[in-house]
Amino acid sequence: MPKINGERLLADLRRIADFGRYETGVHRPHLSPQDVESRHWLAGRMKEAGLEPVIDGIGTVIGKSPKTGPRLLMGSHTDTQPRGGWLDGVMGVIYGLEVARALAEDPETAHLAVDVASWADEEGHWGQMTGSRSFVGMFSEADIDKAKHRDEGTPMREALKAAGLDKTPREHLVEGRYRGYLEAHIEQGGLLEAGDKRIGIVTAIVGIMAFRLTFGGIQNHAGTTPMPIRKDAGVAMMRLYNDVMDKFPAVSGPRSVWTVGKMSIEPGAPAIVPGRAEMILQFRDADIKILQAFEAKLMEIVADSQKKGPCTVECVNLSRTQPLLMDERFLEAIEESAVAHAPEKHIRMPSGAGHDA
Amino acid sequence: MPKINGERLLADLRRIADFGRYETGVHRPHLSPQDVESRHWLAGRMKEAGLEPVIDGIGTVIGKSPKTGPRLLMGSHTDTQPRGGWLDGVMGVIYGLEVARALAEDPETAHLAVDVASWADEEGHWGQMTGSRSFVGMFSEADIDKAKHRDEGTPMREALKAAGLDKTPREHLVEGRYRGYLEAHIEQGGLLEAGDKRIGIVTAIVGIMAFRLTFGGIQNHAGTTPMPIRKDAGVAMMRLYNDVMDKFPAVSGPRSVWTVGKMSIEPGAPAIVPGRAEMILQFRDADIKILQAFEAKLMEIVADSQKKGPCTVECVNLSRTQPLLMDERFLEAIEESAVAHAPEKHIRMPSGAGHDA
């Protein structure tokens, strides 16, 4: 039975947090000098573990096992949000590395092949999950040509050149090479902690739908425009948002979430009746039927607001990602292991956040 | 019976619109070169009308009648908002000038004394109605020392120097000099037009109360934070605003208005549950009792939101101006004149906007 070396695992997690350390966390956006440095360190650790590491032409680090036979891919990402946490992503990569080491150290399992990946740019500074999408052929050379840093505008080509990766080929998934992909991740909600659990077995990655709602009214003087003749776009937005909060629970599943995280009114002065307002409504669920029910309910609410007036409302779909179900045999294997190592401390749950998988 | 010279009046209105002409309107913020130029032109027209004009140490233009006896003050302001309208304010000044001219031309009324004023900075680029407040002793030398342009930050002293006014004394109201102050103004709402009226006889200038409402929640990931444990500051704000819109009508007078013209949520990203939200609620009425009823209702709503949770709400008063009733004898005189010249085309109404008076 192979055994994880907890001290070695923690030492690696702590070591990589030195690259771009910022207060209690880490500042290591993809292709920043600290990020590039950490990738070379990671490749070195992979080599020491008996893997064959490459840093590819977009920055993804893959340590390939020289062994043959059925092969598992493990990993996550080591880039971070600006001033991000020290575990998010990184944990899944170092767990993969430790699993590869632990398997190799036990004669019973030494023949098993595990590749370990740190996907480039999961945090989307240059696009959306650029590294894993590149790996599966969803990010082309032309996409790289166009990509610019979302905040600083630096072309991705320039940043790759600065990282010494401009002449390096990119790695691509070889069909049939892997039996599966396994990613350990910290929980980003508070469900485990609240329920005194230690392990969440992810059943699905949620689908996300987002809509932009734009309200058109008439901008006016807030002192001289009588209430009955106003067309206040801010009021129209607030009334619709209120409707959403009242009516969504009726079609909600137990884990559904819906959020307005962005809204604005124009021109935005205390003494001016807003002529225009805008909000972004997003909802998530692992069940496509619930997403569809939310969408239908939203359309109903929008039509109702449009009919009642006095403001116009326009509803535009911004994104629509499908929920992804995890492989049942994987779920069972993880559950079996959880029963053995953390009895009563595990639950099945969907992942609310997006991931490279 | 004195008679207005309509052509002369319109010619003056059109002439002054040349100073800072911008598209169909005018860009003439107080102490801009165009504003200073227009003041010299205005002083010239006052002189031609037989008045004795001064441009005082803050930029107010006053044309004083050399006549004695009961004295009326007429005027408004010739400064404009950035890219403002061509009539707002200006009309009241040129009407004053034309009344002075018309009275002087008729032997029956030639003895009547009318002073005409264009108050500096009604639009508040350097403070709040700086010119008229200076005139009544509510804007001191120390206030001028501190005043900076609200957008550009230029010290007022510098701008006054550039306008050649730094060594000029300021004019101050002499107690008992005037029988009254009369200001003609375009309507800034749509009440007259909607009712097919031509003259609104202002019964009162409304009082304005404004409150800043700040909502405190917990910022979270919009995918992984379950609905029941969220503290969404945006939702709290929307719920309270909804309450205001539902409950204010019950204590409203026929001309009351209330407005949220400014609101924001933080951090303002589509996938983040807002941890903080803020809105400014303003309400106006000519009746202090109605203002007080609105305030009491708001406090009730705030306490209710605070009690229900889960977010905190803080309510801070930003301003509290008293309504001002107009003089009843003035009202009657204007009404009498309206009956004669525009029968059925006049109504009594409060002014929803603030004015120098």
Dist CA A42 CA A98 (whole Å): 12
Interface contact flag, A257 B222, Cβ < 8 Å? yes
- Number of Cβ pairs < 8 A linking chain A and chain B: 161
Dist CA B85 CA B187 (whole Å): 12
Q: Is the pLDDT assigned to residue A44 strictly greater than 90? A: yes
Q: Is the pLDDT assigned to residue B274 strictly greater than 90? A: yes
Q: Are residues B180 and B33 in the same domain?
A: yes
Q: Are residues B101 and B32 in the same domain?
A: yes
pLDDT band, residue A192 (cuts 50/70/90): confident
Phi-psi region of B123 (alpha: psi -120 to 50; beta: other; left: phi over 0): alpha
Q: Are residues A253 and A148 in the same domain?
A: no
Which residue of chain A comes nearest to B260, CA vs CA? Answer: A270
Which chain A residues are Cβ-neighbours of B187 within 8 angstroms?
224
Q: What is the 3 state secondary structure string of chain B?
A: CCCCCHHHHHHHHHHHCCCCEECCEECCCCCCHHHHHHHHHHHHHHHHCCCEEEECCCCCEEEECCCCCCEEEEEECCCCCCCECCCCCHHHHHHHHHHHHHHHHCCCCCCCEEEEEECCCCCCCCCCCHHHHHHCCCCCHHHHHHCECCCCCCEHHHHHHHCCCCCCCCCCCCCCCCCEEECCCCCCCCHHHHCCCCEEEEEEECEEEEEEEEEECCCEECCCCCHHHCCCHHHHHHHHHHHHHHHHHHHCCCCCEEEEEEEEEECCCCCEECCEEEEEEEEEECCHHHHHHHHHHHHHHHHHHHHHCCCEEEEEEEEEECCEECCHHHHHHHHHHHHHHCCCCEEEEEECCCCCC
The CA distances from residue B168 to B37, B43, B161, B177, in Å, are 17, 15, 10, 22
Picking from A318, A214, A230, A212, the residue whose alpha carbon sits closest to that of residue A266 is: A214
Which pLDDT score is estimated for B350?
Answer: 83
CB nearest to A224's CB, from B188, B252, B256: B188
Interface contact flag, A262 B239, Cβ < 8 Å? no
Dist CA A27 CA B164 (whole Å): 55
Which chain B residues are Cβ-neighbours of A265 within 8 angstroms?
260-263
pLDDT band, residue A351 (cuts 50/70/90): confident
CB nearest to B262's CB, from A255, A268, A280: A268
| pLDDT averaged over every residue in chain B | 94
**DSSP bridge partners of A231:** A218
Which residue of chain A comes nearest to B225, CA vs CA? Answer: A189
Element (H, E) at A22: strand A21-22
Which chain A residues are Cβ-neighbours of B227 within 8 angstroms?
252, 256-258
Which residue of chain B comes nearest to A245, CA vs CA? Answer: B235
Q: Which amino acid is at A262?
A: K
Interface contact flag, B353 A221, Cβ < 8 Å? yes
Q: Note the pLDDT tens digit of each residue in A319-331.
A: 888 898 899 999 9
Residue B139 is encoded by which pair of tokens? 């804007």
Q: Is B155 part of a structural domain of the chain?
A: yes
Q: Note the pLDDT tens digit of each residue in B48-96.
A: 999 999 999 999 999 999 999 899 999 999 999 888 889 989 999 999 9
Residue A186 is encoded by which pair of tokens? 């910290």
Which pLDDT score is estimated for B1?
Answer: 85
Q: Is B162 part of a structural domain of the chain?
A: yes
The label of the residue with tokens 């003259």 reads B199
Q: Is the pLDDT assigned to residue A16 strictly greater than 80? A: yes
Q: Which amino acid is at B351?
A: S
Q: Are residues B179 and B219 in the same domain?
A: no
Which chain B residues are Cβ-neighbours of A257 within 8 angstroms?
222-223, 225-227
Q: Spell out the residues 6+ positions from residue A256 whose beta carbon is closer than 8 angstroms to its own.
A: A248, A283, A284, A285, A290, A294, B227
- Number of domains into which chain B is organized: 2
Which chain B residues are Cβ-neighbours of A252 within 8 angstroms?
227
First and final CA of chain B: distance in angstroms? 28
Q: Are residues A170 and A239 in the same domain?
A: no
CB nearest to A242's CB, from B238, B280, B318: B238
Which chain B residues are Cβ-neighbours of A239 within 8 angstroms?
242, 245
Q: Are residues B169 and B69 in the same domain?
A: yes
Interface contact flag, B222 A272, Cβ < 8 Å? no
**In this predicted model, which residue has the larger pLDDT, B5 or A191?**
B5
Interface contact flag, B270 A256, Cβ < 8 Å? no
Residue B272 · residue B313 · CB < 8 Å: no
Choose, out of B88, B227, B252, the residue to mutate when testing the contact with A (most A CBs < 10 Å).
Answer: B227
Q: Is the pLDDT assigned to residue A190 strictly greater than 80? A: no
Which pLDDT score is estimated for B276?
Answer: 97
**In this predicted model, which residue has the larger pLDDT, B123 or B233?**
B233
Question: Looking at CA atoms only, how far is residue B235 from chain A in angstroms?
Answer: 8
Q: Are residues B135 and B243 in the same domain?
A: no
Q: Are residues B243 and B166 in the same domain?
A: no
Q: Are residues A133 and A265 in the same domain?
A: no
The CA distances from residue B54 to A338, B42, B121, B132, B179, in Å, are 90, 10, 16, 15, 21
Which residue of chain B comes nearest to A255, CA vs CA? Answer: B226
Q: Are residues A314 and A175 in the same domain?
A: no
The label of the residue with tokens 């010239």 reads B44
Q: Are residues A288 and A178 in the same domain?
A: no
Q: Are residues A261 and A119 in the same domain?
A: no
**DSSP bridge partners of A213:** A279, A315
pLDDT band, residue A144 (cuts 50/70/90): very high
Q: Is the pLDDT assigned to residue B355 strictly greater than 80? A: no
Dist CA B93 CA B98 (whole Å): 9
**DSSP bridge partners of B221:** B272
Dist CA A176 CA A178 (whole Å): 6
Residue A69 · residue A111 · CB < 8 Å: yes
Picking from A34, A178, A166, the residue whose alpha carbon sits closest to that of residue A117 is: A178
Containing structural domain, residue B211: 207-321
Give the domain CATH number at A133: 3.40.630.10
Dist CA B271 CA A188 (whole Å): 13
The phi, psi pair for A144, rounded to 5°, reads -65, -40
Which pLDDT score is estimated for A121?
Answer: 95
Q: Strand pairing of A220-221 and A272-273? A: antiparallel
Interface contact flag, A239 B239, Cβ < 8 Å? no
Give the domain CATH number at B246: 3.30.70.360
Angle in degrees, 0-180, between the axes of helices A6-16 and A90-105, rounded to the nearest 10: 150
Where a domain ends, among A157, A186, A215? A186
Dist CA B97 CA B74 (whole Å): 8
Which pLDDT score is estimated for A350?
Answer: 83
Q: Is A194 part of a structural domain of the chain?
A: no
Q: Is the pLDDT assigned to residue A354 strictly greater than 80? A: no
**DSSP bridge partners of B199:** B346
Q: Is B334 part of a structural domain of the chain?
A: no
What is the CB neighbour count within 10 angstroms for residue A175? Answer: 6
Q: Note the pLDDT tens digit of each residue in B83-140.
A: 888 998 999 999 999 999 999 999 999 999 999 999 999 998 998 889 999 999 999 9
Question: Looking at CA atoms only, how far is residue B284 from chain A in angstroms?
Answer: 7
Region A199-207: what's the mean pLDDT? Answer: 90
Residue B117 is encoded by which pair of tokens? 């004023």
Which residue of chain B comes nearest to A222, CA vs CA? Answer: B259
Picking from B76, B75, B73, B77, the residue whose alpha carbon sits closest to that of residue B113 is: B73
Residue B296 is encoded by which pair of tokens? 């009491």
The CA distances from residue B293 to A76, B17, B248, B356, in Å, are 59, 43, 9, 27
Which residue of chain B comes nearest to A273, CA vs CA? Answer: B261
Q: Is A39 part of a structural domain of the chain?
A: yes
Q: Is B193 part of a structural domain of the chain?
A: no
Picking from A72, A337, A73, the residue whose alpha carbon sits closest to that of residue A198 is: A337
Which pLDDT score is estimated for B156?
Answer: 96
Q: Strand pairing of A220-221 and B52-55? A: unpaired
Which chain B residues are Cβ-neighbours of A260 within 8 angstroms?
234-235, 238, 265, 274
